[in-house]
Chains A and B, each alone.
Chain A
Amino acid sequence: ETGVTQTPRHLVMGMTNKKSLKCEQHLGHNAMYWYKQSAKKPLELMFVYNFKEQTENNSVPSRFSPECPNSSHLFLHLHTLQPEDSALYLCASSPRGAGGNQPQHFGDGTRLSIL
Protein backbone atom coordinates (compact mmCIF):
# COMPACT_ATOMS: atom_id res chain seq x y z
CA GLU A 1 0.00 0.00 0.00
CA THR A 2 1.75 3.14 -1.24
CA GLY A 3 -0.96 5.66 -0.36
CA VAL A 4 -1.57 6.34 -4.06
CA THR A 5 -4.57 4.52 -5.54
CA GLN A 6 -5.28 4.25 -9.24
CA THR A 7 -8.48 3.03 -10.85
CA PRO A 8 -9.21 1.11 -12.89
CA ARG A 9 -6.23 -1.27 -12.83
CA HIS A 10 -7.00 -2.46 -16.34
CA LEU A 11 -8.88 -0.76 -19.17
CA VAL A 12 -9.65 -1.89 -22.70
CA MET A 13 -11.18 0.68 -25.02
CA GLY A 14 -11.81 1.32 -28.67
CA MET A 15 -10.27 4.23 -30.50
CA THR A 16 -13.54 6.16 -30.55
CA ASN A 17 -14.33 5.74 -26.85
CA LYS A 18 -13.99 8.30 -24.10
CA LYS A 19 -12.76 7.13 -20.71
CA SER A 20 -11.05 8.57 -17.64
CA LEU A 21 -8.30 7.31 -15.38
CA LYS A 22 -8.45 8.26 -11.73
CA CYS A 23 -5.72 8.74 -9.15
CA GLU A 24 -6.19 9.49 -5.47
CA GLN A 25 -3.48 10.06 -2.88
CA HIS A 26 -3.95 9.81 0.89
CA LEU A 27 -0.54 11.22 1.82
CA GLY A 28 -1.31 14.94 2.11
CA HIS A 29 0.97 15.75 -0.83
CA ASN A 30 0.79 18.92 -2.90
CA ALA A 31 2.14 17.71 -6.22
CA MET A 32 0.79 15.02 -8.54
CA TYR A 33 2.14 13.52 -11.76
CA TRP A 34 1.12 11.38 -14.71
CA TYR A 35 3.69 9.09 -16.34
CA LYS A 36 3.42 6.74 -19.33
CA GLN A 37 5.33 3.46 -19.50
CA SER A 38 5.27 1.74 -22.86
CA ALA A 39 6.66 -1.74 -23.42
CA LYS A 40 10.46 -1.79 -23.40
CA LYS A 41 10.69 1.98 -22.90
CA PRO A 42 11.61 4.09 -19.85
CA LEU A 43 8.91 5.92 -17.95
CA GLU A 44 7.96 9.18 -19.62
CA LEU A 45 6.66 12.13 -17.65
CA MET A 46 3.42 13.48 -19.11
CA PHE A 47 2.00 16.12 -16.73
CA VAL A 48 2.85 17.78 -13.42
CA TYR A 49 0.45 19.55 -11.08
CA ASN A 50 1.60 21.66 -8.14
CA PHE A 51 -1.09 22.85 -5.74
CA LYS A 52 -3.74 22.03 -8.39
CA GLU A 53 -2.03 24.09 -11.08
CA GLN A 54 -0.52 22.41 -14.13
CA THR A 55 3.17 23.28 -14.24
CA GLU A 56 4.41 20.85 -16.87
CA ASN A 57 3.02 19.41 -20.08
CA ASN A 58 5.68 17.26 -21.69
CA SER A 59 4.45 17.71 -25.29
CA VAL A 60 1.56 15.35 -24.72
CA PRO A 61 -1.05 15.06 -27.52
CA SER A 62 -4.36 16.77 -26.84
CA ARG A 63 -6.22 13.45 -26.85
CA PHE A 64 -4.91 13.19 -23.28
CA SER A 65 -6.52 15.78 -21.02
CA PRO A 66 -5.56 15.98 -17.33
CA GLU A 67 -7.68 17.41 -14.55
CA CYS A 68 -6.72 18.13 -10.96
CA PRO A 69 -9.76 19.32 -8.96
CA ASN A 70 -7.86 19.27 -5.65
CA SER A 71 -4.49 18.21 -4.29
CA SER A 72 -5.72 14.69 -3.55
CA HIS A 73 -7.25 13.77 -6.91
CA LEU A 74 -5.92 13.62 -10.43
CA PHE A 75 -7.69 12.47 -13.56
CA LEU A 76 -6.56 11.68 -17.08
CA HIS A 77 -9.36 11.99 -19.61
CA LEU A 78 -8.89 9.95 -22.77
CA HIS A 79 -10.56 10.37 -26.16
CA THR A 80 -9.90 9.11 -29.68
CA LEU A 81 -6.77 7.28 -28.63
CA GLN A 82 -4.44 5.42 -31.00
CA PRO A 83 -3.12 1.85 -30.69
CA GLU A 84 0.34 3.24 -29.80
CA ASP A 85 -1.23 4.77 -26.67
CA SER A 86 -1.52 1.30 -25.17
CA ALA A 87 0.72 1.41 -22.10
CA LEU A 88 0.87 1.44 -18.32
CA TYR A 89 -0.20 4.85 -17.00
CA LEU A 90 1.28 5.69 -13.63
CA CYS A 91 0.28 8.37 -11.16
CA ALA A 92 2.63 9.73 -8.50
CA SER A 93 2.55 12.34 -5.75
CA SER A 94 5.13 14.13 -3.66
CA PRO A 95 5.11 16.40 -0.62
CA ARG A 96 6.28 19.50 -2.42
CA GLY A 97 5.95 20.68 -6.00
CA ALA A 98 8.83 22.89 -6.93
CA GLY A 99 12.27 22.09 -5.67
CA GLY A 100 13.17 20.23 -2.54
CA ASN A 101 14.36 16.67 -2.34
CA GLN A 102 11.18 14.82 -1.47
CA PRO A 103 10.71 11.48 -3.26
CA GLN A 104 7.68 10.67 -5.36
CA HIS A 105 5.28 7.92 -4.37
CA PHE A 106 3.72 5.93 -7.19
CA GLY A 107 0.48 4.06 -7.64
CA ASP A 108 0.43 0.66 -9.34
CA GLY A 109 -0.86 2.08 -12.59
CA THR A 110 -3.67 1.50 -15.06
CA ARG A 111 -2.87 -0.97 -17.85
CA LEU A 112 -4.54 0.55 -20.93
CA SER A 113 -5.15 -1.38 -24.13
CA ILE A 114 -6.49 0.34 -27.24
CA LEU A 115 -8.27 -1.90 -29.74
Chain B
Amino acid sequence: DAKTTQPTSMDCAEGRAANLPCNHSTISGNEYVYWYRQIHSQGPQYIIHGLKNNETNEMASLIITEDRKSSTLILPHATLRDTAVYYCIVRHRNNAGNMLTFGGGTRLMVKP
Protein backbone atom coordinates (compact mmCIF):
# COMPACT_ATOMS: atom_id res chain seq x y z
CA ASP B 1 0.00 0.00 0.00
CA ALA B 2 1.15 3.53 -0.77
CA LYS B 3 2.67 5.72 1.94
CA THR B 4 0.92 8.90 3.09
CA THR B 5 2.26 12.18 4.47
CA GLN B 6 0.22 14.44 6.74
CA PRO B 7 1.04 17.54 8.80
CA THR B 8 1.67 16.68 12.42
CA SER B 9 -0.82 19.17 13.79
CA MET B 10 -3.35 21.84 12.79
CA ASP B 11 -5.59 24.34 14.53
CA CYS B 12 -9.07 25.38 13.46
CA ALA B 13 -11.53 27.90 14.86
CA GLU B 14 -14.87 26.54 16.01
CA GLY B 15 -17.54 26.93 13.32
CA ARG B 16 -15.04 27.28 10.51
CA ALA B 17 -14.17 24.63 7.94
CA ALA B 18 -11.26 22.36 8.78
CA ASN B 19 -9.24 21.33 5.73
CA LEU B 20 -6.87 18.44 6.41
CA PRO B 21 -4.38 17.64 3.63
CA CYS B 22 -2.82 14.30 2.79
CA ASN B 23 -0.09 13.55 0.28
CA HIS B 24 -0.04 10.12 -1.35
CA SER B 25 2.14 10.69 -4.41
CA THR B 26 2.89 6.98 -4.94
CA ILE B 27 -0.75 5.90 -5.01
CA SER B 28 -1.70 3.37 -7.68
CA GLY B 29 -4.88 3.19 -9.69
CA ASN B 30 -6.44 0.48 -7.52
CA GLU B 31 -5.81 2.08 -4.15
CA TYR B 32 -8.51 3.75 -2.09
CA VAL B 33 -8.00 6.72 0.21
CA TYR B 34 -9.53 6.26 3.67
CA TRP B 35 -9.89 8.72 6.51
CA TYR B 36 -10.30 7.77 10.16
CA ARG B 37 -10.12 9.83 13.30
CA GLN B 38 -9.33 8.96 16.90
CA ILE B 39 -10.74 11.01 19.71
CA HIS B 40 -8.89 10.76 23.00
CA SER B 41 -9.57 7.51 24.89
CA GLN B 42 -11.61 6.05 22.04
CA GLY B 43 -10.94 3.71 19.14
CA PRO B 44 -10.49 5.00 15.60
CA GLN B 45 -13.70 6.05 13.87
CA TYR B 46 -14.24 5.63 10.14
CA ILE B 47 -15.06 8.92 8.40
CA ILE B 48 -15.05 8.49 4.64
CA HIS B 49 -13.23 6.87 1.73
CA GLY B 50 -12.91 7.32 -2.01
CA LEU B 51 -11.15 6.08 -5.13
CA LYS B 52 -11.26 8.80 -7.79
CA ASN B 53 -14.34 10.95 -7.34
CA ASN B 54 -14.99 13.40 -4.56
CA GLU B 55 -17.16 11.99 -1.80
CA THR B 56 -19.47 13.52 0.78
CA ASN B 57 -21.34 12.07 3.73
CA GLU B 58 -22.90 13.40 6.91
CA MET B 59 -19.52 13.78 8.57
CA ALA B 60 -17.20 15.21 5.95
CA SER B 61 -16.21 15.71 2.34
CA LEU B 62 -13.25 14.11 0.61
CA ILE B 63 -11.63 15.96 -2.27
CA ILE B 64 -9.17 13.91 -4.35
CA THR B 65 -7.00 15.70 -6.90
CA GLU B 66 -7.29 14.67 -10.53
CA ASP B 67 -3.87 13.00 -10.50
CA ARG B 68 -4.84 11.30 -7.19
CA LYS B 69 -1.52 12.24 -5.60
CA SER B 70 -3.15 14.15 -2.78
CA SER B 71 -6.47 14.60 -1.04
CA THR B 72 -8.17 16.88 1.46
CA LEU B 73 -10.64 15.98 4.17
CA ILE B 74 -13.06 18.81 4.85
CA LEU B 75 -15.09 19.17 8.03
CA PRO B 76 -17.46 21.95 6.95
CA HIS B 77 -18.27 23.41 10.38
CA ALA B 78 -15.79 22.19 12.95
CA THR B 79 -16.93 21.81 16.55
CA LEU B 80 -14.93 21.28 19.73
CA ARG B 81 -15.87 17.60 19.55
CA ASP B 82 -13.98 17.29 16.27
CA THR B 83 -10.70 17.68 18.16
CA ALA B 84 -8.92 14.40 17.38
CA VAL B 85 -6.08 12.76 15.48
CA TYR B 86 -7.04 12.31 11.82
CA TYR B 87 -5.48 9.47 9.84
CA CYS B 88 -5.22 9.31 6.05
CA ILE B 89 -4.66 5.74 4.82
CA VAL B 90 -4.21 4.34 1.34
CA ARG B 91 -5.30 0.77 0.83
CA HIS B 92 -5.30 -1.45 -2.22
CA ARG B 93 -8.73 -2.69 -3.20
CA ASN B 94 -7.37 -6.24 -3.30
CA ASN B 95 -5.40 -5.92 -0.09
CA ALA B 96 -5.46 -9.44 1.26
CA GLY B 97 -6.74 -9.45 4.79
CA ASN B 98 -8.20 -5.95 4.43
CA MET B 99 -5.32 -4.56 6.45
CA LEU B 100 -4.92 -0.90 7.34
CA THR B 101 -1.52 0.69 7.94
CA PHE B 102 -1.79 3.72 10.20
CA GLY B 103 0.76 6.54 10.20
CA GLY B 104 1.16 9.34 12.71
CA GLY B 105 -1.89 11.31 11.53
CA THR B 106 -2.72 14.99 12.01
CA ARG B 107 -3.67 16.22 15.45
CA LEU B 108 -6.52 18.70 14.86
CA MET B 109 -7.25 21.14 17.66
CA VAL B 110 -10.56 22.99 17.32
CA LYS B 111 -10.48 26.16 19.40
CA PRO B 112 -13.36 28.32 20.67
What count of chain A residues pass the 8 Å CB interface test? 28
Q: Are B43 and A56 within 8 A (Cβ)?
A: no
Q: Are B97 and A103 within 8 A (Cβ)?
A: no
Q: Which of B13-21, B62-70, B72-80, B88-96 contacts A (4 or more CB under 8 A)?
A: B88-96
Q: Are A31 and B98 within 8 A (Cβ)?
A: yes
A45 on the B face (CB < 8 A): yes
- Which listed residue, A2, A42, A99, A104, touches B96 by the CB 8 Å rule? A99
Name the CB-closest residue of A to B41. A108
Residues of B in contact with A, size category = 20 to 34
Please give the residue numbers on chain A whose beta carbons come within 8 Å of chain B beta carbons, in ascending order: 2, 4, 31, 33, 42-43, 45, 48, 50, 55-56, 90, 92, 94, 96-109
Q: Are A106 and B98 within 8 A (Cβ)?
A: no
Contacts of A106 in B (CB 8 A): 43-45
Given contact pairs A108-B43, A109-B43, A101 touches B101 in the complex (Cβ within 8 A):
no
Contacts of B41 in A (CB 8 A): 108
- Which listed residue, A48, A107, A108, touches B98 by the CB 8 Å rule? A48
Contacts of B100 in A (CB 8 A): 43, 45, 104
Q: Are B42 and A97 within 8 A (Cβ)?
A: no
Contacts of B36 in A (CB 8 A): 103
Q: Are A90 and B44 within 8 A (Cβ)?
A: yes
CB distance from A41 to the nearest CB of B (A): 9
Q: Complex: how many Å from CA A108 to CA B41?
A: 7
Q: Are B97 and A101 within 8 A (Cβ)?
A: no
Q: Complex: how many Å from CA A97 to CA B94?
A: 10
Contacts of B34 in A (CB 8 A): 103
Q: Are A102 and B44 within 8 A (Cβ)?
A: no
Name the CB-closest residue of B to A99. B94
Contacts of A108 in B (CB 8 A): 41-43
Name the CB-closest residue of B to A94. B98
Q: Complex: how many Å from CA A42 to CA B95?
A: 20
Q: Are B45 and A101 within 8 A (Cβ)?
A: no
Q: Complex: how many Å from CA A103 to CA B45?
A: 10
Q: Complex: how many Å from CA A106 to CA B100?
A: 12
